[in-house]
Amino acid sequence: MAALRASLTLSVCLMLAHQTFAKNDAPCQLSRWNNGFDTFLRRHIRDGTPVTMDQNEWEKYIKNNGGCDRPTQSFLHPRDLEKVKNVCTNKGGKRLRENLCISKESFSFVTVRSVPGTCGIKSITEEIKHLILACELLSNQCLPVHFEGNPKNLKPDNNAKDCQDTSSDAPGSRMTWLWLLTALLVVVLYLRN
């Protein structure tokens, strides 16, 4: 009986750890981070970003608006906000892996690489690529919470499911083995008492 209780305790601890630290296994699942979209906006879709590729302008902008601690930063055009949000829907995105979606269309954005802690700019690149975004459910809307790099210039697979596919075979709708094990142990413990 003591071994069973120890197993149950361990299973519950593992389940709670899984819920706390794991990222979602599919897009548009409930977010564990309530400020994810706001942080995404502050980091990637800001008003007042320089319209030039001048290194001094970007250095001044990053110093004045924060971000010196981030070695790579990508900035999307504020006019593209609705199109960026659409990447996390059936309209604009396809599933890539885990909670990541890839845009159906290419976007133009600026990537700034700097020396961490100094705001010294190493490079400024205007890129045109498909966006890879982590998409999670916040306030009943699937929204981007993370901008993932696309160094291999991936494109969406037309056969992949749409980003916000809610069919029953979606990865997020299946029970994980940890949940199943915990439920089984609870039932066994209940039946033994």
Of 90 and 191, which is predicted with more confidence? Answer: 90
Instruction: Tell me if residue 134 falls in helix, strand or coil.
Output: strand
Tell me the C-alpha distance between 183 and 192, whole Å. 14
Of 7 and 26, which is predicted with more confidence? Answer: 26
Percent above pLDDT 90 for the chain: 62
Q: Which residue range forms the structural domain that includes residue 80? A: 27-163
| Global pTM value | 0.75
Asked if residue 50 and residue 12 are part of one domain, the reply reads no
- Residue 148: give its domain's CATH number: 3.10.130.10
Which amino acid belongs to residue 65?
N
Of 1 and 134, which is predicted with more confidence? Answer: 134
Helices then strands (H, E): number in the chain? 5, 6
Asked if residue 34 and residue 13 are part of one domain, the reply reads no
